[in-house]
Structure 1
């Protein structure tokens, strides 16, 4: 800002500096989900007679807790230990049953999850709070014989969006 000050008939030029404080926030959109434990049931080791024998599908509901309005597509990746005999399945926890893994896919069968994949994601339109992203799971044998024991696994759902 410039001021013109006249003193005694001569002109002088003065300057003054000021500060403008600017505040704001740039936020990214977000989505959140909730899950509940899934029980794949009780099965007998003798029912798995060959590699690739599988159980019935069991629903795996993933419940939307809402997405912000700017989210166009919700991408889900699934992280967990891959089975050593079939990397397309999730491994059961050590110390339990042997010779089988857990397969996870969308309820309509259109996308089969690959454990820990960053490219084979399940893509969804965002759902309102309470909406269900419908998945399903089952056991699949990976060896010619299955030994009995607990057949549990933990899978982490990873979200990204655009």
Structure 2
């Protein structure tokens, strides 16, 4: 006859408890519409650094609202930078060449630097439906401008405190 103690039959094991959650602060949301810089003849560009005579096109970034605890909104702008002038956004591959796209605040006091994490546009929050006024234009980057579609995609990144 064999005796087996209860301790010998006990098994040990581990269990993991995954705890999840979010401690949120305030939040902001924005929206944009496509920006149409118009149709231009390549001859309107007369040298590196020039723009068509029509110049800037104003456009809004619209507030969808911010929580009451938000003090400052920081906007960064991500997209492909022009290979000749890294301060401009590149035209999509297969389109026009010799130009880039410049973005600024509408009053011209701040110029967007593509993909910068330090040179951000800082705004006080505005009510839902109000806007953060901006402007855009084409700028010649090479000695020759080649015709074609002159499109680009820019993503607005928000952080706030």
Structure 2 length as normaliser, TM-score?
A: 0.84
Which residue pairs with 1:44 in the alignment? 41
Which residue pairs with 1:75 in the alignment? 74
- Structure 1: which 5+ runs fail to align? 1-23
- Write out aligned runs for 1:1-162 (5 A): 26-55=23-52, 56-162=55-161
Instruction: State how far apart, in whole Å, the 1-side matches of 2:75 and 2:153 are.
Output: 16
Distance apart, 1:26 and its partner CA: 3.2
Q: Which runs of structure 1 show a deviation greater than 4 angstroms over 4 or more consecutive aligned residues?
A: none
Instruction: State how far apart, in whole Å, the 1-side matches of 2:141 and 2:24 are.
Output: 46
Larger radius of gyration: 1
- Structure with bigger strand share is 1
- Structure 2: which 5+ runs fail to align? 1-20
**Contact 1:49/1:145 (<8 A) preserved:** no
Distance apart, 1:25 and its partner CA: 6.9
Q: Call closer, same or farther: CA 1:25–1:39 in 2, change over 3 Å.
A: closer
Which residue pairs with 2:17 in the alignment? none
Structure 1 length as normaliser, TM-score?
A: 0.84
| CA RMSD after TM alignment | 1.2
Which residue pairs with 1:12 in the alignment? none
* Paired positions, count: 139
Instruction: State how far apart, in whole Å, the 2-side matches of 1:59 and 1:49 are.
Output: 23
**Alignment deviations for residues 85-106 of structure 1 (CA, whole Å, 9 cap, x no partner):** 0000000000010000000000
